[in-house]
A and B are shown apart, each in its own frame.
Chain A
């Protein structure tokens, strides 16, 4: 056998294997879709009942639970559409309100958040419509492949030798069922994709929701731009009045000393001493400025090390629980660092606490930072306050902040933002 033939044979073998694998996967996925479609129907009716029971009061507890279950199912469908068929369905939900408690007010807020979101209703509609659609589109490829394979297994031999044997029975049905196999192999993934696209028509955000999202983004972007412009102005002013002025003074003193060094060495010496003091002050001002822009230890050690260094520099003990497997991008690290720094500065200035703790964790694509203390509480997101600034800064990264701080304490500041971690740079 020549090499070419061998290559061709092994190639065709691998093509066959790939096809078989793909078809098998398609059948499994189709079955899963069908099961999910069936499960969606009772979920739909239960949800409708719990929403109706809102008028009886008990729905306040039940409705969010069932609606969130529908939401989880819909979210799973979005993930499958992406992973199995490459159909991207953007998540349309409104952001969860911060500070949801388990009290009555929290439950009412949760109901309002879910019931006023149009995506909730379209999810419900999807759960109903997906019943028949999912069963048909999911089972069709399974049915076609199964018929083909079954016919091949039972009547395969007869079909192969049939034309040459004397008895000529009617092969019509067998030929039809057999032809379903290639059809199932070819059409299976397309049917799954059609199902995903059909789901997309109800599960994707509508045009109005997209517009609202764009509005939110525009707002947070302009806040971020404003904040960075104000920051640049502050840096310019600090440089202009601080280090720059000192360097001018330095040059002046050295130049003067140069002039008088022969005639009046004493004066030259005192001018040089003054120049040295001036350079020292310029450096310490630059150091403070640099810390405010991007703390050097953050550049050197990342968020983990920088928060550790920050904790060491505070006048009260800070317990650290840091669990980050890698490094976030520099802008994210900087935003989170300054958010934690602001929260800790509040602890020192206002809380009267004698103990604080910081927790930094990453999971499910989100970086979570929690700063707590055992102080007297009463912290809030006040207009013009430091935490409001943190909120704006985090908003630029789609991040959120929540403050729980009852009178008498303790205070808990939770910050969360979506990001990716890269492997630790060393």
Chain B
């Protein structure tokens, strides 16, 4: 799997390269600023990009902008965005900019190596990995609204895990229930939210996120 990395802190960049390489990924380009990152993304067309939001030269949101721009130029480019803080505003922009695998995680999450690698792979295969913090903010924001208020506590739990990008099997393991029970919950959620049920896991997640972000 070919990865392009955009991270300006040398220590973290080297750490990520070591980590990704250890899990059989090939870092084809590692850049430390916005313009270089955009160029690398467009020319290398990696299987997945791992991108820090804040990059030189301006130390604002160059990384995010590069990712959004790259997804506009290379449709379906999978991007995993990392940041010291998560903003719903950015999640919204990422979701509305282009198709393909998408991840948005707090940088802290790299310390849980197994889940981080899982997230990189999910995004590379066209899936979604949203940080639990984004998801919980989204859910809290709509907690009082109809029709989200009609969900049972269990259905909310399932919805949260689904929005993070977990598969039915993953949700089942986490909640210690059968996969069949999970898909029943999911069907209920979709009915209550008036969303069309989709076979594809990722399309399902995107539908949920887009719904929450509306």
Contact = CB atoms under 8 A, between A and B. Distances in A.
Per CB-CB distance, the 7 closest pairs between chain A and chain B, nearest first, are A309-B89, A312-B88, A300-B60, A300-B61, A283-B108, A309-B87, A296-B85
B58 to A, nearest CB: 7
Contacts of A230: none
Interface in A295-329: 296-297, 299-301, 305, 308-309, 312-315
A358 to B, nearest CB: 14
A280 interface: yes
Counting contact residues on chain B (CB < 8 A from A), the size range is 20 to 34
Interface string A274-293: 00100110011001001100
A262 interface: no
Contact of A291 (B85, B88, B106, B111): B85
B144 interface: yes
A312 B90 CA distance: 11
Contacts of A290: 84-85
Contacts, number: 52
Interface in B66-101: 84-85, 87-90, 92
B85 A315 contact: no
A80 B141 CA distance: 54
A425 interface: yes
Interface of B: 53-54, 58-61, 84-85, 87-90, 92, 106-108, 111-112, 137, 140-141, 143-144
Interface of A: 276, 279-280, 283-284, 287, 290-291, 296-297, 299-301, 305, 308-309, 312-315, 425-426
Contact of A280 (B54, B60, B111): B111
Contacts of B140: 315
Given A290-B85, A309-B87, A313-B137, A296 B54 contact: yes
A300 B108 contact: no
A352 to B, nearest CB: 13
A308 B106 CA distance: 20
Nearest to B138: A312
B54 A300 contact: yes
Secondary structure at chain A's binding surface: helix, strand, loop or mixed? helix
A276 B111 CA distance: 7
Nearest to A309: B89
Among B85, B90, B107, the one with the most A-chain Cβ atoms within 10 Å of its Cβ is: B85
A315 B149 CA distance: 13
Contacts of B85: 287, 290-291, 296-297
B89 A315 contact: no
A303 to B, nearest CB: 13
A290 B106 CA distance: 15
B89 A305 contact: yes
Nearest to A277: B111
Contacts of A284: 108
Given A296-B85, A315-B144, 18 more contacts: A276-B112, A279-B108, A280-B108, A280-B111, A283-B106, A290-B85, A291-B85, A296-B54, A297-B87, A297-B89, A300-B54, A305-B89, A309-B88, A312-B88, A312-B89, A314-B141, A315-B140, A425-B60
